[in-house]
């Protein structure tokens, strides 16, 4: 059952613990009004009504808690009436929903190809990466391991995931940014240690034989592992791992592999939508807020790695220095990676056999 708590300006905001919100969209509190909740793949923020800017932030699966806090603080600082709705799901599915008409004012998706796909649909203008600092990356992240208490399977590094009898929980890389990044991190763990593509392919084949179920998004995989108790290890976003472990009350632990992929979740204004709805000013201010000291601290609070080096350094106890490699270490660019690994009849389709097939 959804509970309520009193928020800013005497308003109420709904909330649930992490383990109860796998498929629930959180309502964002604003300084002037409480938004309606837009479920993934449906609805609209509605532009401007009565002088209030109504924004829809279409994001990837495990960012609900981050945007809830950002929305509240942005609304306090903006100085004009603003109402913000959130939509969450697998990053690729979210991008397709926007392309098909979901009226996002901003997209804060997990993967560069998902955002750039909207440029190809003429929804986002050319040069979108250079409009905001750090290539429109207010934060970065990575993929880590969550294991059962005491790590009974002894999982410490990527090769352990391919051992017999290990059950690995990871989302579907065809629909989930978490899933894509986990596959690329695993592939890179072979190539960057001297292995060739044949060895990497053999390793991935063994790894995905150990995957009993492929959820469509990151939060669904969290539910499978933490709530349903399936699997020995969960491959997940660093921020999701911290939330998952906090909710487990000591039953789960975090393991950092020696190296992992550099995850770069870009943010962008959806030009075609904000110009039609008259919300550009508010949408641009919303994303710029992420780069303020307050925005960067909120990002760190939710276990995303801030782009501001000083803020990141002040939280070094939370973000251990592991080797993070960009996708360009294992592919020419994201377009090549998408085509090679995740397109129909690509590498994932070639190696993956559903359980029981």
| CATH number for 190 | 3.40.190.10
274 and 335 part of one domain: no
For residue 320, tell me if it sits in a domain. no
Whether 319 is covered by a domain: the verdict is no
Cβ burial 83-117 (10 Å sphere, 16+ → b, else e)? bbbbbbbbbbbbbbbbeeebbbbbbbbbbbbbbbb
Q: What pLDDT sits at residue 41?
A: 33
Q: Is the same domain home to 126 and 273?
A: yes
Orientation of helix 64-78 relative to helix 280-289, angle to 10°: 110
Same domain, 107 and 250: no
Separation between Cα atoms, residue 49 and residue 82, nearest integer Å: 10
Please state, in angstroms and as integers, the Cα–Cα distance from residue 59 to each residue in 112, 325, 354, following that order: 13, 24, 28
Phi, psi of 270 (to 5 degrees): -90, 95
**Does 228 map to a domain?**
yes
Same domain, 171 and 69: no
Nearest to 271 by CA among 105, 136, 51, 133: 105
Same domain, 165 and 78: no
Mean pLDDT of 86-91: 94
- Calculate the CA dihedral of residues 239, 260, 322, 193 and round it to 10 degrees: 170
Model pLDDT, residue 28? 36
What is the β-pairing status of strands 268-269 and 106-108?
antiparallel
Q: Of 92, 121, 104, nearest to 38 (Cα)?
A: 104
* 82 and 155 assigned to the same domain: no
Tokens of 296: 């960067």
What dihedral do alpha carbons 298, 303, 304, 309 form, nearest 10°? 80
Residue 128, in any domain of the structure: yes
Domain co-membership, 309 together with 330: no
Measured between alpha carbons, how far is 15 from 27 in angstroms, rounded to an integer?
Answer: 8
Where do the H-state alpha helices sit in 106-210?
112-120, 133-136, 177-191, 197-209
Nearest CA among 50, 126, 38, 123 for reference residue 81 = 50
| Distance of alpha carbon 218 from alpha carbon 61, whole angstroms | 6
**pLDDT given for residue 356 in this prediction:** 73
| Contact criterion met (CB below 8 Å) for 114 and 91 | yes
Main-chain phi, psi angles of 49, to 5 degrees: -135, 120
Classify residue 309 by burial, with Cβ atoms within 10 Å: 0-12, 13-18, 19+.
Answer: exposed
In angstroms, rounded to a whole number, what is the distance separating the alpha carbons of residues 175 and 166? 24
The tokens describing 57, both together, are 């932030």
Q: Is residue 278 included in any domain, yes or no?
A: yes
Same domain membership, residue 247 and residue 167: yes
pLDDT at 19: 35
Q: How many helices (H) and strands (E) does the chain have?
A: 14, 15
Whether residue 117 has pLDDT greater than 60: yes
Helix (H) or strand (E) holding 237: strand 233-237
Q: Specify whether 199 is located in the same domain as 342.
A: yes
The pLDDT value recorded for residue 129 is 97
**What is the per-residue pLDDT across 49-82, written as a single tens digit (0 to 9) for each?**
668 999 999 999 999 999 999 999 999 999 999 9
In the structure, what pLDDT confidence band is assigned to residue 91 with cuts at 50, 70 and 90? very high
Residue (of 248, 219, 222, 292) closest to 40 by Cα position: 219
Note whether residue 292 is domain-resident.
Answer: yes
CB 325 within 8 A of CB 262: yes
pTM of the model: 0.86
Show the domain range for 180: 143-262+326-351
Q: Averaged over 188-205, what is the pLDDT? A: 98
The CA dihedral of 171, 174, 179, 180, to the nearest 10 degrees, is 180
pLDDT for 35 beyond 90? no
pLDDT of residue 279: 98
pLDDT (tens digit per residue) in 262-294? 999 999 999 999 999 999 999 999 999 999 999
Nearest to 77 by CA among 301, 315, 298: 298
Are residues 270 and 198 part of one domain? no
pLDDT at 20 over 90: no
Q: What is the pLDDT of residue 308?
A: 98
Place of tokens 């995740």: 342
Residues 335 and 206 in one domain: yes
Q: Indicate the number of domains in the chain.
A: 2
- The pLDDT score that the predictor gives to residue 355 is 85
Token representation of residue 60: 């990837």
Asked if 220 and 330 sit in the same domain, the reply is yes
Domain membership of residue 165 (yes or no) is yes
Q: Is residue 318 in some structural domain?
A: no
Closest CA to 112 of 103, 104, 124: 124
pLDDT digit string, tens, across residues 42-51: 334 457 766 8
Give SS3 for 209.
Answer: helix
pLDDT at 46: 57
Which of residues 202 and 15 earns the better pLDDT score?
202
> Per residue in 224-263, pLDDT tens?
999 999 999 999 999 999 999 999 999 999 999 999 999 9
């Amino acid at each position: 059952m959804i509970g309520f708590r009193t928020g800013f300006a005497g308003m109420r905001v709904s909330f649930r613990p992490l383990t109860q919100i796998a498929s629930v969209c959180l309502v964002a509190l604003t300084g002037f009004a409480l938004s309606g909740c837009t479920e993934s793949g449906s609805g609209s923020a509605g532009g401007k009504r009565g002088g209030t800017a109504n924004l829809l932030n279409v994001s990837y699966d495990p960012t609900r808690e981050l945007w809830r806090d950002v929305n509240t603080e942005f609304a306090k600082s903006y100085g004009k009436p603003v109402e913000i709705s959130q939509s969450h799901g697998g990053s690729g599915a979210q991008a397709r929903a926007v392309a098909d008409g979901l009226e996002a004012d901003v997209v804060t998706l997990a993967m560069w190809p998902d955002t750039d796909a909207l440029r190809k649909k003429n929804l986002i203008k050319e040069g979108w990466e250079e409009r905001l600092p750090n290539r429109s990356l207010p934060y970065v992240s990575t993929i880590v391991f969550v294991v059962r208490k005491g790590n009974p399977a002894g999982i410490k590094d990527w090769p352990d995931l391919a051992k017999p009898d290990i059950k690995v929980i990871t989302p579907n890389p065809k629909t989930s940014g978490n899933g894509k990044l986990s596959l690329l991190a695993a592939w890179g763990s072979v190539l960057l240690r001297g292995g060739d593509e044949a060895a990497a392919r053999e390793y991935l084949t063994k790894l995905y034989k150990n995957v009993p179920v492929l959820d469509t998004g990151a939060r669904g995989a969290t539910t499978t592992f933490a709530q349903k108790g399936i699997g020995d290890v969960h491959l997940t976003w660093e921020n999701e791992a911290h939330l998952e472990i906090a909710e487990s009350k000591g039953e789960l632990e975090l393991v950092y592999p020696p190296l992992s992929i550099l995850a770069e979740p870009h943010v962008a204004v959806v030009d075609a939508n904000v110009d039609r709805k008259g919300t550009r000013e508010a949408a641009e201010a919303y994303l710029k807020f992420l780069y303020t000291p307050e925005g960067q601290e909120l990002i760190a609070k939710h276990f995303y790695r801030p782009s501001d080096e000083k803020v990141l350094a002040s939280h070094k106890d939370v973000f251990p220095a592991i080797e993070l490699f960009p996708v360009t270490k294992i592919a020419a660019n994201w377009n090549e990676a998408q085509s090679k690994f995740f397109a129909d009849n690509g590498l994932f389709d070639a190696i993956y056999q559903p359980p029981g097939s």
